[in-house]
Structure 1
Amino acid sequence: MQRLLAEISAHHFPNPPATEAQVAAFEARVGWQLDEDLRAFYLHCDGATLFAPRERAPNYRVLPLNEIERARNKMRHEDTDEYGTASWYTLLYLQDGDYVLVDVARREGEGYVLLDAFHETFPAGVERIASSFSEFLEKALASGDEFFWLAD
């Protein structure tokens, strides 16, 4: 993870780091704890854009802690199971209302699973795209600003 964070700092557009107090407040607000990858990321930078600054509408915008919310609230404006499971939270904004979600009820190894969420069909069609945030970052940073899971 440290290599990925160094790459973000050197070649991308990170926000200033979150404090331990901000992380604790976030975890109290959402009711779950950041996994090791996410904690390292947010203590390094409280959100970031990859490949382009925010003003240029980047493809990848990792949300700061204060913008992470339950996906069904953000994408459908209702907190009911009809609009997706309560364990899905927005993590990256991809433009046009699309998100990468973190499923805080599903772990593979030490990390939470990441999911693709297309706004027009959400909550249908949500698919696993990475087994951890570090796996996601590795692939995203190598993508050349393309959505690596949509290739071919």
Structure 2
Amino acid sequence: MSTLMKRLLAEVDQRHFPNPPAAAEELAAFEARVGWRLDDDLRAFYLHCDGAALFMPWPDTNFWILPLAQVRRGRVAIQGRDEDANGPPDWYTLVDLQDTDFVLMDVSQRGGPYPMRDGYHGTFPDPTHTKVIAKSFGEFLEKALASGDDYFWLSGSTSEG
């Protein structure tokens, strides 16, 4: 586990609301279900906590990092259908922002690190509006924790991939 992830996970433990860790068997079952492997940052996170609410406990949080059992294709979560017309098959929900808005991870580059995208339901799946907001989960988590509970990518400080 990287030094950055160790620091971020310690902060999640101290100031936020982590779930208990996922077991290695749960990670293996998740990877078999979705057909891709968690990258190093995601693996470290889920072995540490199987999801977490940042800043405020669920259901009042703006940032709910989903448990593995609730990670699914973005087009299913946002559009309600698992069809190509409803978005790319390789964009998965990772963070629930409430009201059918998500942060999505783009797993099209198998192996990671996976870029994180803004999954605003009003413009999804238009790629001009579903912009990369962090180059990896670690970068996303670092920016989210520093944000003071704001959607940091809406202030113009996005990371273009």
* TM-score in terms of structure 1 length: 0.95
Any runs of at least 4 consecutive aligned residues in structure 1 with deviations exceeding 2 A, and if so which? none
Out of 40, 44, 48, which is 1:40 matched to?
Answer: 44
Q: Does 1:60 align with 2:48?
A: no
Task: State the Cα RMSD in Å.
Answer: 1.3
Report SS of the residue matched to 2:107.
strand
Q: Does 1:49 align with 2:73?
A: no
Report the alpha carbon displacement of residue 106 of structure 1 after superposing the two structures with TM: 3.3
Describe the superposition over 1:3-56 as per-residue Cα deviations: whole angstroms up to 9, x where unpaired.
00000001100000000000000000011000000000000000000000003x
Instruction: Give unmatched runs, 5+ long, in structure 1.
Output: none
Instruction: Give unmatched runs, 5+ long, in structure 2.
Output: 157-161
For residues 112 and 92 of structure 2, what CA distance do their matches in structure 1 show? Answer: 18
For residues 13 and 151 of structure 2, what CA distance do their matches in structure 1 show? Answer: 21
For residues 77 and 95 of structure 1, what CA distance do their matches in structure 2 show? Answer: 16
Describe the superposition over 1:101-129 as per-residue Cα deviations: whole angstroms up to 9, x where unpaired.
0000137x951000001111211121100
Name the aligned partner's letter for residue 111 of structure 1: P
Report SS of the residue matched to 2:12.
helix
For residues 44 and 151 of structure 2, what CA distance do their matches in structure 1 show? Answer: 23
Whichever structure has more strand as a proportion of its residues is 1
Name the residue aligned to 1:76. 79
* TM-score in terms of structure 2 length: 0.90
For residues 66 and 110 of structure 1, what CA distance do their matches in structure 2 show? Answer: 20
Name the residue aligned to 1:148. 152
> Structure 1 residues 16-25 or 72-81, which shifts more?
72-81
Describe the superposition over 1:72-125 as per-residue Cα deviations: whole angstroms up to 9, x where unpaired.
111111111111110000000001110000000137x95100000111121112
- Provide the identity percentage: 57
For residues 27 and 136 of structure 2, what CA distance do their matches in structure 1 show? Answer: 19
